[in-house]
Amino acid sequence: MSTKEIEIKVPAVGESISEVFIGEWYVGEGKFVAADKDVVGLETDKATFGVPAPVGGVVTRILKKAGESAAIGEVIGYLSPSDAPAAATPATPVAAPAAPASSSAPAPKSGAHVMPAAASEMAKNNLPAGSVAGTGPGGRVLKEDVIRTVQAGPVRVGGSRETRNVPLSPIRQTIAKRLVEAQQTAALLTTFNEVDMSAVKKLRESYKDVFEKKYGVKLGFMSFFVRAVVAGLQQFPALNAQMNGKQLTHFNYCDIGIAIGGGKGLVVPVLRNAENMSFSDIELAIVQYAVKAKNNQITLEELDGGTFTITNGGVYGSLLSTPIVNPPQSGVLGMHGIFDRPIAVNGEVVIRPMMYVALTYDHRVVDGREAVSFLKLVKDLIEDPTRLILEV
């Protein structure tokens, strides 16, 4: 090893973390990386984070490839300090000679020329290129060849049958483990309701511009649901409790986890003390988490804990689903897509923007009456959002 090389080590990421997973090398061997720029991405069972280059230089050796594991403090590569390479002088473009004109049509993928009548017959019978063997001069495909192929029966078209084994990342392993754990250890039950989103949509339309101008963030639906959930948890505290052996742990605060799709999968960062957060606080925090999740920069501290979770499948077009509780929590609210549907209002059929909502809860902790009442309160508050502002 050259005396000038610097070790790239796995940093300490938490007291309980002893091993990480090599996610992706952002800079390959022989490539330059500037100081403090991420050179490699590492994953734990909860989060993904980057390891910055201590100095600017060239990555000389990579000891651990993507998909391999490494211990805390282990050397996974080497960096040779150097200045940034000078920008290359642009080469003078040289025009490529034009291809000679050809009066004949290009040959099909099979390598055999298809006669016009045969091509028409193939299109008529939806036969792909290369699926008919030609018997004409030079292997040309004739109309008779196509008819013979059709009469012989279905055409089997060959294709790639490759397989690829990809190791599960620690995040995906933890997600799988917790989902199975929730199904096996909790008595899960789901109750449903539907929400008329007319009032919230009207309120957003009226104040979206002034809200964004004042706070620098758009007014979304999630802040309304977070405030409604907080009100529900305060009125029905069992949904904010957790099973702890032979006793229940109740929380006098609401740490709401918000499920966000990230670069490496679903993550659930937590809004701490959501009961004290304003609409703008909630929207700003969610936007910041979304950006960090996209860039795989969510920290372990931001994912830790949570007393209740909200997930929004509606952003992906979901009409209805049954969310799974994130243990050891006792409840999760599932939001879904907003679709215009006919409903009865005062004896008349009207078209309204409707959303199905689902509450999955641990029946060991929460009674059905409490769960149904909680979801009904969330519905009522969303349909009359003025109550959220007046806290009534």
Dump pLDDT digits (tens) for 240-289.
Answer: 999 988 899 999 999 999 999 876 678 899 999 999 999 999 999 999 99
**What are the domain boundaries of the chain?**
6-81, 171-390
Predicted confidence at residue 120, as pLDDT, reads: 78
pLDDT of residue 311: 96
* Catalytic residue set: 363, 367
Question: Using CA atoms in the order 273, 277, 279, 283, what is the torsion angle rounded to 10 degrees?
Answer: -60
Of the options 2.60.40.420, 1.10.3720.10, 3.30.559.10, 3.30.530.20, the CATH number for the domain spanning 171-390: 3.30.559.10
pTM over 0.75: no
Please, which residues have CB within 8 angstroms of residue 170's CB and are 6 or more apart in sequence?
20, 21, 43, 44, 45, 46
Among the listed residues 28, 111, 135, the one whose alpha carbon sits nearest the alpha carbon of residue 77 = 28
pLDDT of residue 252: 95
Q: How many CA atoms lie within 13 A of 230 on its CB side?
A: 27
Task: For 363-389, give the DSSP string.
Answer: TTTS-HHHHHHHHHHHHHHHHSTHHHH
pLDDT at 209: 95
> Given this model, what pLDDT does residue 156 score?
59
Q: What is the pLDDT of residue 15?
A: 65
Mean pLDDT over the full length of the chain = 86
Architecture of domain 6-81: Beta Barrel (2.40)
pLDDT of residue 340: 97
Regions in the chain scoring below 50 on pLDDT:
1-2, 88-110
Block residue for tokens 């099973």: 243
Taken in order 237, 239, 241, 247, the sign of the CA dihedral is positive
Single out the residue of 337, 331, 320 nearest to residue 359, CA to CA: 331
Please tell me the predicted confidence (pLDDT) of residue 241.
96
